[in-house]
Amino acid sequence: MSCYKTILAVFRSPDDADCLCRLACDIANRWQAHLVGFYARPGLAVHTGLRGPDLDEWLGQKRRRIEQYNSLIRTAVEQSVLSSGNNWDWREMEDPKEPSGDTAAEFARCADLVIIDRLERGSSLVDPDMTLEQLMFETGRPLLVVPPNCKAKQVGRRIVVAWNGTRQASRAAFDALPLMASHENEAIRLVCPPTPEHGPNQIAQGAELAETLARHDVKLEVKALPGRHSDAGAEIMAECEEFDADLLVMGAYGHSRLREYIFGGTTETILNASTIPVLISH
């Protein structure tokens, strides 16, 4: 894939709508891509302490808040996209009772790239990570996950690619190829596990991938992680900070999702703590 021509922006909170719009328009402008906006409505949990009219009133307030969010987000999208001149359209859920993650996944399977916000921990939304995880595991499409309170106006000028030779890492690297090969790119660093001091292979693990990407006119440097942290996620984020990266590219969940949730893992660490957008593929 040499470019992104259809970009789906999945909104879940009006707080981060402006940033998602800026980044989506920035990427779309590079290839005159078509933008699709979609608001993933949160679920409604039944308040166990309410009954009868009190419960009806509480649910009514929640529904009105959800519709207000939808209106605020759509207005933000209209203002951003119209000023940028991009082609776009807005998708609504036909059935408000249908899980929004399922509908988002249907749209995502027909997009080149999906952009979604990462909600703050402790969000008042029901199961706020459900839509993100559905998109990650059920669509086969690359996700650009934008952290809360992100102020970035551009993405993909300085890129760190996390490489460990797995299928997921390979998928992510090639899904990010349009950004890495873009003429607006400034620098790319490919980081990989430390090279063993003693062993038959003293070549950095990412050297083969670097040669392949070079055939796509992608210029990058290969750096073995120095092993300053026992946690790979912390190590990668330290490299991003040192490199002044505005984008991290990585494969998602090398272990099972349950194992990562219980024992912790690189994906969990980075998605929860990264301050820059992360392009992930599974």
User: What is the SS3 assignment for 117?
Assistant: strand
In-domain check, residue 151: no
| Whether residue 19 sits in one domain with residue 142 | yes
Edge-to-edge order in the sheet of strand 247-251: 88-91, 34-39, 6-11, 113-117, 143-146, 278-281, 247-251, 158-162, 187-192, 221-224
Per the domain annotation, does 152 fall within a domain?
no
Mean pLDDT of all residues in 63-68: 84
Q: Does residue 134 lie within any of the structural domains?
A: yes
Beta bridge partners of 42: none
Do 63 and 134 lie in one domain? The reply is yes
pLDDT band at 169 (very low <50, low <70, confident <90, very high): very high
pLDDT at residue 233, as a whole number: 85
Contact 133, 105 (CB under 8 A): no
Task: For residues 103 and 225, state if they share a domain.
Answer: no
Which domain CATH number covers 230? Answer: 3.40.50.620
- Kindly state whether residue 273 falls inside one of the protein's structural domains: yes
**Whether residue 129 is found in the same domain as residue 261:** no
**86 lies in the same domain as 130:** yes
Would you state the pLDDT for residue 259?
41
Asked if residue 166 and residue 138 are part of one domain, the reply reads: no
DSSP three-state, residue 145? strand
**How many structural domains are present in the chain?**
2
> What is the structure's pLDDT at 190?
95
Residues 127 and 165 in one domain: no
Q: Of the residues 125, 146, 167, which one is the last residue of a structural domain? A: 146
Task: Give the pLDDT of residue 59.
Answer: 77
Q: Is residue 1 part of a domain?
A: no
Residue 96 has pLDDT above 70, yes or no: no
Q: Tell me, yes or no, whether 17 lies in a domain.
A: yes
The mean per-residue pLDDT over the stretch 55-63 comes to 80
- Residues 137, 167 share a domain: no
Mind listing the pLDDT tens digit for each residue in 185-234? 899 999 998 766 655 554 567 889 999 999 999 999 999 887 766 678 88
Residues 32 and 129 in one domain: yes
Residues 128, 164, single domain; the answer is no
* Residue 191, C-beta contacts closer than 8 angstroms, at least 6 positions apart: 160, 161, 162, 163, 206, 223, 224, 225, 236, 239
Give the residue from 145, 135, 164, 132 showing the smallest Cα distance to 254: 164
Asked whether 137 and 102 are in contact (CB, 8 A), the reply is no
Residues 142 and 162 in one domain: no
Domain that includes residue 55, residue range = 6-146
Can you tell me the distance from the alpha carbon of 104 to that of 187, in angstroms, rounded to the nearest whole number? 33
Could you tell me if 141 and 174 lie in one domain?
no
Residue 63 confidence (pLDDT) = 82
SS3 121: coil
Q: How far is CA 191 from CA 137, 140, 218, in A?
A: 25, 24, 15
Task: Confirm whether 103 is domain-assigned.
Answer: yes
User: Is a pLDDT exceeding 70 seen at residue 67?
Assistant: yes
